[in-house]
Structures are given as C-alpha cells and as structure tokens.
C-alpha cells in the first residue's frame, strides 16, 4: 500500500468508512457554467443531476448511429477495447471512443462540456476515460454496486475525488430497461472494499465483478439512510455524476435497448500516479496518462 494513500481499499482486510476530505463542487464562486445554480446545488448535495434535452434529437440520433457503427467496426475499435457480456452473446462496453470516433471526439470537446467539467473541478480538465455502455434489450447485464473512484484510485492511481462523469443518454432510460440506480449523498463517504486486486484484473472485471464493491452490510446501511433513486431520463439528456457516488444497475430484461455514453473528465491537478494496488498501470484506453 502507498503510504500517502488517503483512501486505502482492497488492502486485504475490512476497514471502516472514510470521510471524503475534498469538495464535491470544487468551484464555489464565480465563473460561468452551463448548469443552473439549482442543478449545481442538486449535484453537490446528491452526487448527480439530470439535465433533460441537452442534445438536439438530430445530434442524439447521429451519436446513436455512431454507437452501432463502433460495435462492429474492427478497423476503428481494437479487440481489447470491446468488452462482451459474460455470455459472449452481445457487446457490453466499447472503451476509448474519444480516440476511435471523430464524432464522439468532437462531441466531448464541445464548449459546454469543457466549461461544465472545469467549473465543477475548478481547473482545466482532460478526458480520463470514455465508453459506450450498450445494455441491449434482453441481454444487457447488471453492474453491481460501486464507486467509480474506488477503481480509478486503486487500479489507476487517481489521487483525489476531483473527477466528474457525464452520461449522455442515447436511448430513453426508463424504469424497465435497467436504468442506473444511485444512492444519493453517498459521494461524501468512501467505502473501503475487501480483497486484493489480482494481476490484469481488468481483463475480467469489466464484464462485471464484485471486487471493488462495498460489503452488502455497508450497501444496506447507506441505502437505508439515503434511499435509492432510479435515474430515468429521455434520450438526448445528460446526467452529471460525481466520481464517488455509489451506483449500480439491473439486467435489462425488457426489449428496449439502453445505450448510454460516458465521458469522464479529470482535473489536470489530479493526474494519475502509480496504481495504489501496486499492480502495473492499466491500458491507456481505460485510464489516460497523456
């Protein structure tokens, strides 16, 4: 374990909750932001906020078509960047879409995203990770409870919770197609996880894993305190997520696909260090070190 590790996790034994010691909303005053004051304070309090109809329906349809192209285009997407469901029958995730798609690269460098992320993080930002989560009708599988920061900290050496994810909904996210479930306010605590990180963990973890999930007791406790909110929104909306808020989602047994794109912006003052788990760095398409 790294001595300077403020948020030790997967150190082999169970340990208790650690309070977050940095803000959720890093810029308190001034600056312009495409989110309203109300949206920003909802984000700060709850760890996420939905902004409906962020994209035009034309842009939404264009990006949705690009997700279909990328799932089968082996000229632009490397085999490792494409993660299948455990059954092997459908695509779960494609990573690195800010690198392998000109259309997504353009969408993510849009001034409103750049302003939004630098406002929340109070600095310039860069793209840490991007991905398409397909969650196809009938075959899209669950994501168990986790904080993204826990993985990025332990496996990628991200020092602080100064990172924000933006989800772009390219299909309607409804109650029936496996929407993201969030535990609001959970972003203020860090839940150390048990176990240790095996070598090359990412080769299996991206298909779904419980390493990097808090214990069932911890999840039950925090969910009983704060509740669980299904994040439902129309296609073309965005959801701004704190990197440490606890979330999960169920299998999509409905016939309706649930395609969501994520772009993760990190502060330039929070660049990745050596992974805290002591393993080698994960590939660039999961964790940018440019």
Applying CB under 6 A, does 259 fall inside the site for ligand 6CS? no
Closest-CA residue to 121 (of 7, 229, 269): 269
Alpha helix (H) residue ranges in the chain: 37-46, 57-72, 97-100, 102-108, 111-121, 148-156, 202-205, 216-226
Nearer to ligand 6CS, 42 or 131 (CB): 131
> Does residue 266 belong to the site contacting ligand 6CS (CB under 6 A)?
no
Q: Please, which of residues 186-225 interact with ligand 6CS by CB under 6 A? A: 212
Neighbours of 38 (CB within 10 A): 9
Q: Count of alpha carbons within 13 Å of 20, Cβ hemisphere only?
A: 22
Site string for ligand 6CS, 58-87 (x = CB under 6 A): ------------------------------
Residue 28 C-beta: closest distance to ligand 6CS, Å: 28
Provide, rounded to whole angstroms, the least separation between the CB of residue 162 and ligand 6CS: 16
What's the CA gap between 258 and 256, in Å, rounded? 6
Residue 286 binding ligand 6CS, by CB under 6 A: yes
Phi/psi for 220 (5° steps) reads -60, -45
What does 151 interact with, of ligand 6CS, Fe ion, none (CB < 5 to 8 A by kind)? ligand 6CS
Residues of span 118-147 touching ligand 6CS by CB under 6 A:
129, 131, 146
Element holding 32 (H helix, E strand): none
What residue ranges bind ligand 6CS (CB under 6 A)? 129, 131, 146, 148, 151, 212, 286
């Amino acid at each position: 374990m790294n001595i300077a590790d403020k948020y030790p996790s997967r150190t082999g034994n169970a340990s208790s909750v650690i309070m977050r010691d940095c803000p959720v909303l890093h810029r308190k005053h001034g600056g312009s932001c495409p989110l309203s004051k109300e949206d920003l304070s909802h984000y700060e309090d709850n760890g996420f906020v939905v902004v409906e109809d962020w994209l035009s329906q034309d842009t939404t349809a264009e990006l949705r078509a690009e997700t279909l192209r990328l799932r089968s285009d082996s000229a632009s997407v490397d085999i490792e960047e494409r993660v299948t469901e455990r059954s092997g029958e459908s695509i779960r995730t494609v990573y690195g879409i800010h690198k392998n798609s000109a259309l997504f690269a353009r969408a993510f460098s849009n001034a409103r995203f750049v302003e939004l992320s630098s406002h929340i993080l109070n600095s310039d930002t860069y793209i840490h990770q991007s991905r398409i989560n397909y969650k196809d009708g009938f075959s899209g599988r669950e994501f168990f409870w986790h904080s993204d920061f826990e993985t990025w900290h332990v496996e990628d050496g991200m020092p602080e919770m100064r990172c924000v994810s933006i989800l772009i909904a390219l299909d309607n996210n409804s109650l029936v197609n496996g929407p993201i479930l969030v535990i609001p306010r959970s972003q203020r605590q860090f839940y150390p996880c048990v176990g240790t990180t095996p070598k090359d963990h990412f080769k299996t973890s991206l298909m779904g894993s419980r390493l990097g999930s808090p214990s069932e007791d911890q999840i039950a406790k925090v969910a009983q305190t704060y509740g669980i909110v299904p994040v439902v929104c129309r296609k073309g909306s965005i959801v701004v997520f704190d990197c440490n808020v606890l979330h999960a989602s169920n299998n999509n047994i409905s016939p309706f696909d649930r395609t969501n794109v994520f772009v993760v912006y990190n502060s330039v003052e929070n660049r990745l260090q050596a992974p805290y788990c002591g393993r080698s760095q994960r590939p660039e398409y999961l964790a940018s070190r440019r």
